[in-house]
Every structure is written in C-alpha cells, then in structure tokens.
Amino acid sequence: MTTHTHHLTRLTAAEMAQKLRAGEITSVQLTQAHLDRIAAVDGGEHGIHAFLHVSAEEALRTAAEVDDLRAAGGAVAEALHPLAGVPIAVKDLIVTEGQPTTAGSKMLEGWMSPYDATVVTKLREAKLPILGKTNLDEFAMGSSTEHSAYGVTRNPWDTTRIPGGSGGGSAAAVAAFEAPLALGTDTGGSIRQPGAVTGTVGTKPTYGSVSRYGAIAMASSLDQIGPVARTTEDAALLHELIAGHDPKDSTSLPGEVPAFGEAVRTADVAGMRIGVIKQLQGEGYQQGVLDRFHEALDALRAAGAEIVEVDCPSFDYALGAYYLIMPSEASSNLAKFDGVRYGTRVLPEDGPLTIERVMGSTRAAGFGDEVKRRIILGTYALSAGYYDAYYGSAQKVRTLIQQDFDAAFEKADVLISPTAPTVAFPLGENDDDPLAMYLNDVATIPANLAGVPGISVPGGLSEGLPVGIQFLAPIREDARVYRAGGALEKLLSQDAEPLWAQAPELAETEPAAAAEPAEAAAHPAGK
C-alpha cells in the first residue's frame, strides 16, 4: 500500500526534522505516512492497539500549516521550532481540547476536555501534528496496559506480550513506527518500564521540571510527564520542548531549561563516576536482564567510566512506601469522578435516586478492579487512626530514600540499574497476582519517591526481547542522564544497528477505513 512513504516512519525524530528543514519531505507526507502505518498495524484482532483515538484531520491540518510556513521561507520558516512538523502521540491521561480524553477508563468515556494541558499547548505552539491519544492502564494504574477499559496494547516485539505500563500505548506506538515521538507520564515507572520492554527510550524528568497541568492526577507528588522516543537525542529534544516553569502548576520549578540535546550530542562517560545500586540487582532479576546489564557496565567501563557500588538500604522499603503514598493520593484524586458533573453516570438499578446512591453506582460501574483496589487501599491508609502508621510512616521512608540518594550522589555522578527486573511478560500472566505486577516497578519507584530524574535506554535483547538500562541523576541534573544514556546508546550501536531499528516489521493489514486519504491529496507533496 504505502510503500513509497513507509521508509519515512523508520527514521528518528531528529532525522525527520532534518529532512523537513532540508525540504526533502513535507510534514503532510510524514504525517500521512504515520497515519497509514497506524491504519495498517494498530487495528484488528492482533493489532498493536496503541491508539484509543486517532485525529487524522487535525494532525494533517497542523502538518499543512507547517509546510506552508516552511514554503514561505525567510524569517517565518526560520522561526519554526526544530521539531515543527514531526508528528507525536499523546498518552490519553493528558487532556486535549478537541480530542477525547478517557484516562483509559469507562468513567470518562466520551468526555472532551474544555482546555489543553500545558504540555499540549507547547506541542501546538511548536506545531507538532498530534496523531492521537494512546492507550494506558486505567488512570495510569498498572505496569502492562492490560488494565485499560478499552482493551490491551500489544508489544511490537512479540504481540502475545505486554508493552509495559501504564504508558504501553505511547511506547508501543513509538516501537511500532506509528509515531516517532510520544508523551508519557511516570508515577512509578510508567514511562521507563514500557521503554525498557519495547526497546525505546523514556525519560522521567525531575519532579516539577515539566508542568503537570492537564495530566489527570494519579499521585500528585509522584506524577511527572516525560518524553518517549527512539533515541536519547529525540527524547532530549522533546524534553526541551515540554520542560519549563508553568505558573499554573504550584510544584513547577523555576529556571531555564538546560540543553539536553547538546548533552546527548557530546555524550561521553570518560571520567564519569557511575554508581551501581547494590539493592537493584540480583534477586528477582532475570539472568538475561542481568547479563545485558553487566555488558552495559563493561562497555561503560571500557569507555572510561569509573564504576562504583553504592548502598541504598532504604530502597528495600521503597515499594512498600510507594504502595501507601500512591494509593492514598490516588484515592483522593479520583474522588471527583462521581457522575455528578461530567463523564459517565450510572443510576442504581432499583431503589431511590439519592445523590449517594448515584455516586456509588457510578463509581462501582465506572472504575475497573485495579483502580478500586487502589482507592480502597488509599482510603484505608488515610483513615483516622491509621494515618500515622501508614501514610505517615511511608513519608518517613520517602525521606530516608531521598537521603540514600543524597549519599549515593556523593560517590557517583549518575546511578545505574536494570530498568525492569524482567523482559516483557506474556499477556494475562499476572492477571491474578497484583503483587507480582507491582514488583515490575521495584527499580523505577525510588526515583519517583525522591523526585530525581531517570531514563531508560535500550540495553540489548534477551530471548529476543528488549532489556532496558536505567540511569538516575540528582534533582535538576536531567542533562546527566542524557549524557550517560546517550553514551551507552552510542557504545551499544557501534557494531550493530540500534535496537529500535531491529524491531519486527509487523504484518501490515489493509485497513477497513483508510485514514482520510482525501485530506492528504489536498496537500500534495512538494508544496
């Protein structure tokens, strides 16, 4: 079908941007190529199902605008953002005016936000065509995207396996060449762990460095929006675009956005002290994952890095603290979904229509099991008489974890660990075992509890499935994770194609309804 444009999707965002600037391709061509790819691989019984909503018309309209501005030349074209015209997908937890936002929940089925998230405003201002909204575990609660109310997303490397979660849709879209860039949110690893198991790059920025305004809150003190991409450079460029102070977010940090792209381009680990976290290796980690991890350490050492071991004893309690703080905040943040003002409303089948009963039946029908599990946990933990023992103690552990990080960063410039303990597991494997599911985030959670930045970069394959390597840096030192991650990326692709380019082709099916080809014809190539 679209073989003449197929190659356009198998580039990095930086390469796409370069070709757009050089006039080799148009944004309409590029955007249409991705819409075609979505139409070809996303639907059907075994399709990737990364998208919950595709906004072809809007994306092509933005693309045509960029092409017009580029064609105008001069200062107008010069003023375009470097990523202008490069399409992007947005996790469906982030609100978008004019496109539905469901948070992966029946509760918000059909809801349209009357306002844009700050990061979406930034995408629109920079004129990145927004392809659509990506699938996620309901309200971002999960590590496999199996808890979406709208069906599972499949891992492009093996469509019988999970793409990670909660941002499985964004990661799978990037891995399957449906989008070169995507936005995710990371509360306990929801950007990094899907990045690891799909062979993509995902960054959780320093807490407060990217505005949360418009990201539907799960756990306010842990949530952070970040970039999902194929390379560290692409992630860095998107990160630069979305970062910065936002007066609408009180937890937003002031200050200039560092040049992350430059950090990647000059990436070098010679003389860098890289700390191996004693607590984040060994037991619970698959041998294949550990093998790739040790190879990464060897490569970094060979490139001049000083590998040291750091002890973070409180990390052993991170998962426990996280599963008190996160559900506590989530139980509160999700209270507003009651059927009174917007979204789904379910009336009780019989009995009087009192406000309590309508709220009750709406929440009973509108939320899935994992969401209910966390609301119940959180409600219990915040209850009078339990608060100190649960929420209070968890906050103390959080302080201890921050202190562990502080001590570790005395000895090391960045820390390193496997991103996830396992490669992608088969769909349905952990259905009946929420605790096993929770263990997936054991390595990513400490960064959220401490607010530090982290990145997951591809570290090779184990049993044909991607393994992720995580770098962590001190608060506001996000540039360091790009420097270290970028260096590892270079080292591992010296003798081989980068991992993202090795992703399976996937069988393209003729879509039932092509994504508005007429729209593309209206903006012919070369315009």
Residue positions annotated with a catalytic role: 91, 166, 190
Distance CA 159, CA 254 (A): 42
116 vs 146, beta carbon nearer another protein: 116
Segment 168-197, which members bind another protein (CB under 8 A)?
A: none
Bridge-partner residues for 468, per DSSP? 458
Residue 249 contacts another protein per CB under 8 A: yes
Q: How far is the CB of 363 from another protein (least distance, A)?
A: 9
∠ CA 169-55-31 to the nearest 5 degrees?
Answer: 85
For 275-304, b where at least 16 C-beta lie within 10 A, e where not — what string?
bbbebbbeeebbebbbebbebbbebbeeee
C-beta atoms surrounding 257 within 10 Å: 16
From the list 7, 341, 350, 432, which residue makes contact with another protein (rule: CB under 8 A)?
341
511, 211 contact by CB (below 8 A): no
Judged by CB under 8 A, the stretch of 63-71, 166-174, 351-359, 462-470 that binds another protein is: 351-359
Distance CA 473, CA 269 (A): 14
Q: Which of 50, 203, 154 is nearest to 425 (CA)?
A: 154
Judged by CB under 8 A, the stretch of 19-27, 147-155, 339-347, 422-430 that binds another protein is: 339-347
Torsion of CA 409, 414, 418, 420, to 10 degrees: 80
1 vs 387, beta carbon nearer another protein: 387
Strand runs (DSSP E) across 278-412, as ranges? 306-310
Strand runs (DSSP E) across 344-434, as ranges? 414-418
402 vs 509, beta carbon nearer another protein: 402
Segment 479-498, which members bind another protein (CB under 8 A)?
A: none
Q: How far is the CB of 326 from another protein (least distance, A)?
A: 11
How many residues make contact with another protein (CB under 8 A)? 45
219 vs 424, beta carbon nearer another protein: 219
Distance CA 164, CA 194 (A): 4
56, 89 contact by CB (below 8 A): no
Residue 383 contacts another protein per CB under 8 A: yes
Q: How far is the CB of 214 from another protein (least distance, A)?
A: 4
Residue 247 contacts another protein per CB under 8 A: yes
Judged by CB under 8 A, the stretch of 272-280, 315-323, 338-346, 402-410 that binds another protein is: 338-346
From the list 136, 219, 242, 467, which residue makes contact with another protein (rule: CB under 8 A)?
219
18 vs 251, beta carbon nearer another protein: 251
Q: Which of 304, 318, 273 is nearest to 416 (CA)?
A: 273
Q: How far is the CB of 46 from another protein (least distance, A)?
A: 32
Question: What residue type is assigned to position 392 of the chain?
Answer: G
C-beta atoms surrounding 44 within 10 Å: 14
C-beta atoms surrounding 482 within 10 Å: 32
Residue 384 contacts another protein per CB under 8 A: yes
190, 218 contact by CB (below 8 A): no
From the list 20, 25, 59, 215, which residue makes contact with another protein (rule: CB under 8 A)?
215
C-beta atoms surrounding 431 within 10 Å: 12
Distance CA 357, CA 116 (A): 32
Judged by CB under 8 A, the stretch of 147-155, 213-221, 396-404, 474-482 that binds another protein is: 213-221
Segment 310-329, which members bind another protein (CB under 8 A)?
A: 328-329
From the list 15, 44, 307, 379, which residue makes contact with another protein (rule: CB under 8 A)?
379
Residue 393 contacts another protein per CB under 8 A: no
Residue 214 contacts another protein per CB under 8 A: yes
Q: Which structure tokens are listed for 123?
A: 């995408």
> Would the CA dihedral through 454, 455, 460, 465 be positive or negative?
positive
Segment 82-141, which members bind another protein (CB under 8 A)?
A: 94-95, 101, 103, 108, 111, 113-115, 117
Residue 365 contacts another protein per CB under 8 A: no
253 vs 412, beta carbon nearer another protein: 253
Residue 266 contacts another protein per CB under 8 A: no
355 vs 525, beta carbon nearer another protein: 355
Residue 398: phi, psi to the nearest 5? -60, -45
344, 362 contact by CB (below 8 A): yes
Collapsing DSSP states into helix, strand and coil, what is residue 59?
Answer: helix
Collapsing DSSP states into helix, strand and coil, what is residue 276?
Answer: strand
353 vs 513, beta carbon nearer another protein: 353
Q: Which structure tokens are listed for 489?
A: 């990326």
177 vs 337, beta carbon nearer another protein: 337
Q: How far is the CB of 93 from another protein (least distance, A)?
A: 8
Judged by CB under 8 A, the stretch of 16-24, 190-198, 246-254, 401-409 that binds another protein is: 246-254
Judged by CB under 8 A, the stretch of 66-74, 377-385, 397-405, 481-489 that binds another protein is: 377-385
Q: How far is the CB of 446 from another protein (least distance, A)?
A: 18
Distances (CA, A) of 491 to 10, 304, 457: 21, 12, 12
Using CB under 8 A, list all residues that contact another protein: 94-95, 101, 103, 108, 111, 113-115, 117, 212-217, 219-221, 247-251, 328-329, 331-332, 335-338, 340-342, 354-356, 359, 379, 382-384, 387, 391
